[in-house]
């Protein structure tokens, strides 16, 4: 059985044939304030988003959070907890009553040229209307030799089926060549 990159680390184990590409977005010249996957079909058990991103923020101070909203819900309906490793340190934390979920980190444009942050989001049981939705995230970013790795779980407190997902940087825009791919997972 051949496994696709990111599937073991994220906890969703499926054969390569169990993944189906739904949509991809590559940011063009001039950047973009956000990207959105819409009209997501309810034909799969789970979803996965794989991305690399960088923002237009001119600072060399670090990275921008990539935030997300499900079904255009901007209410305080998101919670998260995470384990954050950076250099020789580690932090764990949790937050409730948030207006978005955290999807990833994107290095700022002032950091080392051509460095992009990478993240994988597993969206479990996205079409199930009997429970809240869990979005698990594995992400990493490197900036001038200083970076981080984060394991995170987000909860969208709604029983609605997920039909759209919007991702956007907390500050400024996504830089050209940032890339996002949405997959449907057929397995259980």
Residue 18 belongs to a domain: no
Domain harbouring 70, CATH code? 2.60.120
Residue 133 belongs to a domain: yes
Residue 82 belongs to a domain: yes
> Is the separation of the CB atoms in 129 and 160 below 8 Å?
yes
Domain ranges, residue 107 = 23-185
Cα distance between residue 31 and residue 25, in whole Å: 12
Cα 118 → chain centroid? 9
Residue 3 belongs to a domain: no
Nearest CA among 34, 169, 45, 42 for reference residue 107: 169
Write the DSSP symbol of residue 6. Answer: T
Cα distance between residue 50 and residue 36, in whole Å: 13
The sheet with strand 101-107 has its strands ordered as 35-37, 165-169, 63-70, 101-107
Our count of domains for the chain comes to 1
Report the percentage of the chain scoring pLDDT > 90: 66
Residue 8 belongs to a domain: no
63 has a pLDDT exceeding 90: no
pLDDT of residue 153: 96
Partnered with residue 153 across adjacent β-strands are: 81, 136
pTM > 0.85: yes or no:
yes
Residue 16 belongs to a domain: no
Residue 14 belongs to a domain: no
pLDDT of residue 86: 79
pLDDT of residue 10: 47
Residue 166 belongs to a domain: yes
- Band (pLDDT 50/70/90 cuts) for residue 11 is low
pLDDT of residue 9: 43
Cα distance between residue 110 and residue 57, in whole Å: 7
């Amino acid at each position: 059985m051949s496994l696709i990159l990111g599937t073991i680390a994220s906890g969703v184990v499926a054969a390569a044939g169990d993944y189906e590409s739904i949509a991809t977005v590559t940011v063009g010249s001039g950047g973009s304030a956000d990207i959105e996957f819409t009209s997501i079909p309810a034909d799969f058990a789970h979803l996965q988003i794989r991305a690399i991103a960088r923002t237009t923020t001119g600072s060399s101070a670090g990275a921008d959070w990539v935030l997300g909203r499900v079904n255009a819900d901007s209410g305080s309906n998101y919670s998260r907890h995470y384990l954050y490793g950076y250099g020789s340190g580690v932090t764990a934390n949790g937050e409730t009553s948030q207006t978005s979920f955290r999807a990833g980190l994107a290095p700022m444009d002032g950091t080392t040229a051509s460095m992009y942050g990478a993240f994988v989001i597993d969206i479990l049981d996205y079409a199930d209307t009997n429970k809240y939705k869990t979005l698990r995230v594995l992400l990493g970013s490197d900036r001038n030799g200083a970076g981080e790795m984060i394991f995170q779980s987000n909860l969208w407190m709604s029983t609605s089926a997920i039909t759209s997902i919007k991702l956007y940087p907390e500050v400024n825009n996504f830089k050209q060549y940032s890339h996002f791919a949405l997959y449907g997972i057929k397995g259980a």
